[in-house]
């Protein structure tokens, strides 16, 4: 009999639907089995190998794995895969070190990372294990990127975020914070062996041409700016009636927690959701 080739991507599609649906192909059955035996450290370690931020994703992941779960074919609801990821993160031993051993002797290569979000942090984690030296640039005072500025603390406690980000920084990342990179040439002149640009998409989408946009400018917020304002308490209250345009759930949740009447309107929803 021909041996099973688990390195082939079609293996997950044919055998483990939830794992195939996960963009990181996290071994779902394996870490759930470990959790069932109370082995939270091992379950967390399995997660960390593929998705890097188990404690964060266990709270805010979009859960593409759950619609693919086979249990929903025989029961009404799938396995709570995302929440189980959080279980492993929340119940692991805080004294256990999950970071791999970093080579004592570097390989002589130096990499520059522009942006302090999940992409750059993931690159840093992978390269540090291979002996690279890493400089990380970000214009904020703390690394984390949009996860830090766009996710309200009631969904992602700052303590969890700091722990997940700190685990990578403590591997030996040289952070250059409060530094806005306005010249790529200036970075290249530092003689890095490679530069990774992980700046994300820091601008939200506006609707400049709809009637009333200019007249109502003082009462209109772009989603990205709105969430940052709520997180940093620049926005402490909202008008009595609020309409959220678009399918993004974070602005709606943030507005709902503060407003008296909130409507969520999107072409992806069968009907508007309204809180009165």
- Note whether 82 and 145 are same-domain residues: no
Tokens of 167: 């685990």
Residue 276's pLDDT is what?
A: 43
Q: Is 48:126 a contact under the CB 8 Å cutoff?
A: no
In a domain, 82, yes or no: yes
Nearest to 140 by CA among 151, 148, 130: 148
Contacts of 19 by beta carbon, 8 Å cutoff, 6+ apart? 12, 25, 26, 27, 28, 29, 65
Give, for all 276 residues of the chain, the pLDDT tens digit. Answer: 466 666 776 665 667 889 989 999 899 999 999 999 999 999 999 999 998 999 999 999 989 999 999 888 888 899 999 999 999 999 999 888 888 889 999 999 999 999 999 999 999 999 999 999 999 999 999 999 989 988 888 889 999 999 999 999 999 999 999 999 999 999 999 999 999 999 987 777 777 788 888 887 777 787 778 777 777 777 767 777 777 777 677 777 777 777 667 776 766 555 545 444
Nearest to 113 by CA among 137, 144, 133: 137
Cα–Cα distance, 248 to 182 (Å, whole number): 30
- Note whether 60 and 120 are same-domain residues: no
In a domain, 142, yes or no: yes
- Note whether 114 and 179 are same-domain residues: yes
In a domain, 162, yes or no: yes
Domain termination residue (choose one: 197, 225, 250): 197
Residue 264's pLDDT is what?
A: 67
- Note whether 75 and 122 are same-domain residues: no
Residue 207's pLDDT is what?
A: 78
Domain termination residue (choose one: 59, 91, 123): 91
- Note whether 82 and 34 are same-domain residues: yes
Kindly report the pTM of this predicted structure: 0.82
Tokens of 69: 């779960």
- Note whether 189 and 221 are same-domain residues: no
Residue 269's pLDDT is what?
A: 54
CATH of the domain at 130: 3.50.50.60
CATH of the domain at 64: 1.10.1060.10
Residue 272's pLDDT is what?
A: 47
In a domain, 1, yes or no: no
In a domain, 101, yes or no: no
Could you give the 3-state DSSP secondary structure of residue 135? Answer: strand
- Count how many domains the chain has: 3
Residue 275's pLDDT is what?
A: 47
In a domain, 258, yes or no: yes
Residue 9's pLDDT is what?
A: 62
- Note whether 85 and 52 are same-domain residues: yes
- Report DSSP letters for 202-251, one per residue: --PPP-TTSTTTTTTGGG---HHHHHHHHHTTS-----SEEEEESS-HHH
Helix (H) or strand (E) run with residue 9 in it: helix 9-15
Nearest to 58 by CA among 90, 34, 35, 32: 90
In a domain, 210, yes or no: no
Residue 150's pLDDT is what?
A: 84
Domain termination residue (choose one: 33, 57, 91): 91
In a domain, 70, yes or no: yes
The residue segments making up the domain with residue 60 are 12-91
């Amino acid at each position: 009999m021909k041996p099973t080739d688990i390195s082939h991507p079609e293996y997950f599609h044919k055998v483990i639907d939830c794992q195939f649906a996960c963009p990181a192909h996290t071994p779902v059955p394996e870490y759930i089995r470990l959790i069932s035996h109370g082995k939270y450290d091992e379950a967390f370690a399995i997660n960390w190998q593929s998705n890097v931020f188990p404690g964060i994703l266990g709270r805010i992941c979009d859960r593409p794995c759950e619609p693919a779960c086979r249990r929903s074919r025989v029961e009404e609801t799938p396995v709570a895969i995302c929440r189980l990821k959080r279980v492993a993160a929340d119940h692991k031993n805080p004294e256990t070190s999950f970071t791999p051993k970093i080579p004592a002797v570097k390989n002589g290569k130096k990499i520059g990372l522009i942006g302090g979000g999940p992409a750059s942090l993931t690159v840093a984690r992978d390269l540090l294990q291979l002996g690279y030296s890493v400089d990380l640039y970000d214009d904020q005072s703390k690394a984390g990127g949009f996860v830090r500025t766009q996710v309200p603390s009631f969904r992602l406690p700052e303590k969890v975020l700091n722990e997940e980000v700190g685990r990578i920084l403590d591997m030996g990342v040289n952070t250059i914070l409060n530094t806005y990179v306005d010249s790529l040439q200036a970075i290249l002149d530092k003689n890095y062996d490679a530069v990774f640009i992980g700046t994300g998409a820091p601008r939200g989408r506006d609707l400049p041409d709809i009637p009333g946009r200019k007249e109502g400018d003082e009462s209109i917020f772009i989603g990205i700016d709105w969430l940052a304002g709520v997180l940093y308490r620049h926005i402490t209250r909202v008008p009595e009636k609020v309409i959220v345009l678009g399918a993004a759930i974070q602005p709606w949740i943030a507005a709902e927690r503060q407003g008296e009447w909130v409507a969520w309107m999107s072409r992806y929803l069968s009907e508007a959701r309204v809180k009165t």
